[in-house]
Amino acid sequence: MEPDRATTVVDDPLAGSVPVTSEDEFAELLGPPHPIVIAKVRSDLGDFERQWLALSPFCLIATSGADGSCDVTPKGDPPGFAKVLDSNTLVIPDRPGNRRADSWRNVLSNGQVGTIFFLPGHGETLRINGTARLVRDAPFFDQLALNGVPPKMALVIRTREVYRHCSRSLTKGGLWKPETWPATAPTPPPIVVDT
């Protein structure tokens, strides 16, 4: 007789695992960070960061809502799409997309953001964390226009932490090595929409 699916107990995949529950525990496991890892963090956008942003065509924006919901949004545009307004202010235009606006909803309720800016072919990344708000118009919107069309909204970030991140992860993952890329991607299942 086949077991009743509703009453079948699924084995706990975390059974026997030992959780880490404090900073002291992971400090014991990892050891202290190298002093240079701490010293490289700054709060402003200097010449290096401005040059990096002028060349970057892609970033990831991480947000969390007041309810704890999290989101990571990819943003891509021609290099230099993220504009530096001053040494502590960065603006990222919002372009037409799927209109889910998960990250923007999080920004409205929390306002803390983390970003990573990539340069194709380079292992290092630029991380910029801070507080953000959405604006629907501003004098700088003309600078954000794409093909003559300004964005309907933009994300303005006041920087709190700015630093380069080493290339170890991208190198180990082979992100920029075509010979490591899979030949195909999984076929997504069909999306069914109730009407």
The per-residue pLDDT for range 11-52, each reduced to its tens digit, is: 899 999 999 999 999 999 999 999 999 999 999 999 999 999
Say if 3 falls within a structural domain.
no
Tell me what the pLDDT averaged over the chain comes to: 93
Alpha-carbon span 24 to 180, nearest angstrom: 38
Domain boundaries, position 149:
40-173
**pLDDT number for residue 194:** 79
Tell me the per-residue pLDDT of 78-100, one tens digit each, with 9 for 90 and over.
Answer: 999 999 999 999 999 999 989 99
Tell me the per-residue pLDDT of 112-135, one tens digit each, with 9 for 90 and over.
Answer: 999 999 999 999 999 999 999 999
Q: Is the pLDDT of residue 8 over 70?
A: no
Averaged pLDDT, 171-191: 91
Say if 123 falls within a structural domain.
yes
Cβ partners under 8 Å of residue 129, min gap 6:
112, 113, 114, 115, 159, 160, 161, 162
Averaged pLDDT, 145-160: 97
Say if 81 falls within a structural domain.
yes
Say if 120 falls within a structural domain.
yes
Q: Is the pLDDT of residue 66 over 70?
A: yes
Say if 62 falls within a structural domain.
yes
Averaged pLDDT, 52-65: 98
Kindly report the CATH number assigned to the domain that includes residue 66: 2.30.110.10
Say if 187 falls within a structural domain.
no
Say if 11 falls within a structural domain.
no
| Cβ atoms 162, 127 nearer than 8 A | yes
Q: Is the pLDDT of residue 5 over 70?
A: no
**Which one, of 156, 49, 50, lies nearest residue 94 by Cα?**
156
Distances in whole angstroms, Cα of residue 104 to Cα of each of 89, 96, 181, 186 = 18, 13, 32, 29
| Cβ atoms 157, 91 nearer than 8 A | yes
Number of domains in the chain: 1
**Strands across the sheet containing 125-135:** 70-76, 58-64, 112-118, 125-135, 153-165, 89-94, 83-86
C-alpha of 137 from chain center: 24
Say if 100 falls within a structural domain.
yes
Q: Is the pLDDT of residue 2 over 70?
A: no
